[in-house]
Amino acid sequence: MFTQLRRKEISPDILIDITAIPGIDSIDYNKIKGLWIGALTSIRRIEKSNLINEKYPILHEAAASLGSMAIRNVATIGGNICNAAPCADMAVSLLALAAKAKVLGPEGERFVSLDKFFTGPGRTILKPQDILVQIVLPARNLISEEYI
């Protein structure tokens, strides 16, 4: 979004700081609930996470190969997903790991499979008042071997 703002491709009337939302930049794992990554978690933090490297190596590899270290320091998993670029570095591994997007909006909270989240190049299911809060991956022992 910041790139689009700088290029003046978009000019919203209002910008909202979402950094105070609990869990928006966290990495949490539970062997039953799986991996929960906040949308504002930097790609560098994902790359450096021993937990992700151990349990979701394909996600670690995707993060480590995204751009330069300077880009990984500021790029977020939510930004990478919400841009819905066909070349989004994180999308392929997240799709392979059967990830879901946790979305908050006027209708409440909902979980959307990433294969349904993307509706086309540069397009997602997000409505103007929706926000991507977290990316959720199933527990490593619950991922079907067909995805690996």
- In the chain, the percentage of residues whose pLDDT exceeds 90 is 57
Is 16 contained in some domain? no
CA atoms within 13 A on the CB side of 50: 0
Closest to 110 (Cα-Cα) out of 121, 95, 100, 122: 100
Q: Is the pLDDT of residue 144 over 60?
A: no
On whether residue 14 sits in a domain, the answer given is no
What number is the average pLDDT over the span 11-19? 79
Burial of 97 (0-12, 13-18, 19+ CB in 10 A): buried
**What is the CATH number for 42?**
3.30.465.10
Per the structure, the count of domains in the chain is 1
User: With contact defined as beta carbons under 8 Å apart, do 25 and 9 qualify?
Assistant: no
pLDDT at 102 over 90: yes
Task: Please provide the average confidence, as pLDDT, over all residues in the chain.
Answer: 87
73 part of a folded domain: yes
- Three-class SS of residue 3? helix
Average pLDDT over residues 59-84: 90
Cα→Cα distances 63→6, 57, 120, 132, Å: 24, 10, 23, 19
- 100, two tokens: 């879901």
Domain-located, residue 144: no
- One-letter amino acid at 24 equals I
What tens digit of pLDDT does each residue of 107-134 get? Answer: 999 999 999 999 999 899 999 889 999 9
Residue 147 within a domain: no
For residue 101, is it within any domain? yes
In a domain, 145, yes or no: no
Task: Tell me, yes or no, whether 10 lies in a domain.
Answer: no
pLDDT digits (tens, 9 = 90+) for 81-100: 998 888 888 999 999 999 99
pLDDT at position 45 over 80: yes
Global pTM reads 0.84
Q: Shortest CA distance to 99 belongs to which of 19, 43, 39?
A: 39
pLDDT of residue 147: 45
User: Of residues 80 and 146, which shows the higher confidence score?
Assistant: 80
For residue 60, pLDDT over 80 is answered with yes
Range of the domain at 31: 24-139
